[in-house]
Amino acid sequence: MHESINTYLREVLKESSADVSGKLAAYIPRLRDADEKLQALALATADGQECSAGDDEHLFTIQSISKPFVYALALDDIGLDRVREMVGMEPSGEAFNELSLEGGTGRPLNPMINAGAIATHHLVDHTSHEEHPGGRQSESRTSEVRSRTTRILDGMSAFAGRPLEIDWDAAEEEYSTAYRNMAIAHMLKSHGSLETEPDEAVRGYIDQCSILVTVKDIARMAATLANNGINPENGLRVVSAESARTTLGIMATCGMYDASGRWLTQIGIPAKSGISGGIIGVLPGQVGIASFAPRLNEEGSSVQGVAMFQHLSNELSLHLMSSERINVIEELERRG
């Protein structure tokens, strides 16, 4: 891409850096010690163009940004009807780690909150995959957990277009303090929404969240959803067009937790955030957007990342409900 676009992205980073509010995720040691000054922004288009600015080579754990991609994998593995039996599709209006289920069904309300993500993780088909050898030996990291990790890591690598790895030390740190996720898993088990043992479900889910990515990786992963499930860099299909579309619908209504309504109204881009400081957004048919900055707001999303997306949405008319339809790259090049 033209250097003018990178210059524009650097300007967006500079503007968003003025907001130094928010806090690091103190309940996870690795995230509590993150460098608060890190910032990055990346775009990847549906036709394979990419640009980025800031600390775009910095590796961080993907955390909850993994949720939409694993949901898409589960949809392809076992089908929408089976997934919907176990995980709902409605906004929760609650915090991402709330201990709550849908009244009457006992399902998690949607796959973007922790309860739904833990249940979705277990729905991914592991049966044709070898056990992943990584991570220390433990009773909870069973053969099934390891083979499902292989399936998920392979799928996430396909989204990113390169082999991804897991930060096993970060996974151990997070598992050692995963009391709330363990409580959620026990709640799921008691309501019949989880077939495996709670400690195994949480172990696998945390290994999933500990996959290492850069902001460029998650922009390309978002662009794969934008491109109907086909990786725009190598042209390989990762998930079906139907699974990509369904996932984007869930992201639009549930991806930003209890701020999802406000996000959709003000920014208008299907999105997903993670507590390590990343946010992805998808403009269907056009572009995947990714930001990184570790300070979080009360909903668990990056303060500066939200500011970056607000700037891009306003300046480039990216809101899904906007009557003005533009080509993002052409508009960026024009501004440059």
Q: What is the pLDDT of residues 219-250, one digit of tens each?
A: 999 999 999 999 999 999 999 999 999 999 99
pLDDT on residue 258:
83
Give Cα 246 to chain centroid, integer Å.
15
Q: What is the pLDDT of residues 139-167, one digit of tens each?
A: 999 999 999 999 999 999 999 999 999 99
Whether 212 contacts 164, CB under 8 Å: yes
In angstroms, the CA 185 to CA 181 distance is: 6
Q: Give me the count of residues in the chain.
A: 336
Asked whether the predicted pLDDT for residue 201 surpasses 80, the reply is yes
pLDDT on residue 212:
98
pLDDT on residue 163:
98
pLDDT on residue 30:
86
- Compute the average pLDDT of residues 206-215: 98
Asked whether the predicted pLDDT for residue 2 surpasses 70, the reply is no
Q: Which residues are documented as binding site for substrate?
A: 64, 114, 174, 181, 205, 257
Asked whether the predicted pLDDT for residue 121 surpasses 70, the reply is yes
What pTM, to 2 d.p., does this model score?
A: 0.96
Give Dmax over CA atoms of the chain in angstroms. 57
Read off the amino acid at residue 109: L
pLDDT on residue 1:
53
pLDDT on residue 111:
96
Asked whether the predicted pLDDT for residue 92 surpasses 90, the reply is no
Q: What is the pLDDT of residues 244-269, one digit of tens each?
A: 999 999 999 999 988 899 999 999 99
Looking at every residue in the chain, the average pLDDT score rounds to 93
Which residue ranges form the domains of the chain, and what is each CATH number? 1-61+213-335 (3.40.710.10), 64-212 (3.40.710.10)
Asked whether the predicted pLDDT for residue 334 surpasses 90, the reply is no
Q: Which residues are documented as binding site?
A: 64, 114, 174, 181, 205, 257
- Compute the average pLDDT of residues 167-189: 96
> Token digits for 330?
């052409």
Percentage of the chain exceeding pLDDT 90: 83
Asked whether the predicted pLDDT for residue 129 surpasses 80, the reply is yes
Q: What is the pLDDT of residues 271-282, one digit of tens each?
A: 999 999 999 999
Asked whether the predicted pLDDT for residue 173 surpasses 60, the reply is yes
pLDDT on residue 94:
73
pLDDT on residue 336:
57
Asked whether the predicted pLDDT for residue 184 surpasses 80, the reply is yes
pLDDT on residue 325:
63
Q: What is the DSSP string of 53-75?
A: EESTT--EE-GGGHHHHHHHHHH
- Mark out the alpha helices in the chain (DSSP H runs): 3-16, 29-32, 66-78, 80-86, 114-123, 143-160, 168-176, 179-190, 198-209, 215-226, 241-254, 260-266, 303-316, 328-335
